[in-house]
Amino acid sequence: MQIHADLAERVVLDTQAIDWQASPLPGVERRPLERFAAESGRATSIVRYAPGSSFSRHQHPAGEEILVLDGVFTDEHGDYPAGYWLKNPPGSGHAPSSAQGCLLFVKLCYQAPEDQSSLRIDTRAAEWRPGLVAGLSVLPLASFATVHTALVRWAPGTEFHGHRHLGGEEILVLEGVFQDEFGDYPAGTWLRNPHGSTHTPFSREGCLIYVKVGHLLEASATDQSSTFLSTS
């Protein structure tokens, strides 16, 4: 089953309004945001582990990315409370579980085979950098070829200039309200802006967002200097 599989489509979803769907293992449920094949291939989801639930050990042939939104996520490499961001490279494997339960943002099967960095970042203890405009702070998470991932914090009243997304942009609003000329996006909103799209973002009350750019068009030549992921 495909869900929002047309990368030329602009998608705006209230992730909290999507029904939970059962996964292949009891106690693990998902809210699918995009999916390109049933139980395989590229997918983005909100995933919920009930207390005491676990997944059997499995491989990630094209990588996996996890942002822990709530609770504590665990695998054989450690325990990761809310705020941790994990990157498991192509070909890696693990046996995940959660003793107390957790809520995750998960992306599967989008990494290039050559992207072999394994990352564990506690975003609540990491060093933030000033952004290109006053009121903007950036926490870079990963960069490979045209793909760049970061957390971006907007102070109340911050405005950014209009810019074009070469290679597309994906946003998950974590706190506050993110805005542009097309609408207001409160915490829990997931946006996917396609290759070539433009907007002029701002935030009146302030917000914290997860952002990934450059991954929605293969072999796209991107210039990220115009996006708010860039730092001064």
Q: Are residues 155 and 97 in the same domain?
A: no
Q: Are residues 22 and 117 in the same domain?
A: yes
The total number of structural domains in the chain stands at 2
| Boundary (domain end) residue, out of 74, 89, 122 | 122
- Condensed to tens digits (0 to 9), the pLDDT of residues 112-134 reads 889 899 899 999 999 999 999 99
What's the pLDDT tens digit per position in 147-161? 999 999 999 999 999
98 vs 78: CA distance, rounded Å: 11
- The answer to whether position 2 is within a domain reads no
Asked if the model's pLDDT at residue 167 lies above 70, the reply is yes
DSSP E strands, 95-154: 97-98, 102-108, 119-122, 129-130, 136-144, 147-154
User: Which structural domain, as residue segments, surrounds residue 197?
Assistant: 129-226
Tally of helices (H runs) and strands (E runs) in the chain: 0, 24
- Shared domain for 110 and 151, answered yes or no, is no
**What tens digit of pLDDT does each residue of 188-211 get?**
999 999 999 999 999 999 999 999
d(CA 168, CA 175): 22
- Tell whether pTM > 0.95: no
Phi, psi of 184 (to 5 degrees): -110, 140
Joined tokens for residue 107 = 């992306």
7 assigned to some structural domain: no
- pLDDT confidence of residue 25: 84
Specify whether the CB–CB gap between 183 and 26 falls below 8 A. no
**What is the CB neighbour count within 10 angstroms for residue 232?**
9
Of 110-114, 165-169, 221-225, which range is least confident? 221-225
**Domain final residue, candidates 122, 143, 176:** 122
Of 93, 122, 151, the residue that ends a domain is 122
Are 33 and 75 in a shared domain? yes
Count CA atoms within 13 Å of residue 34 on its CB side: 24
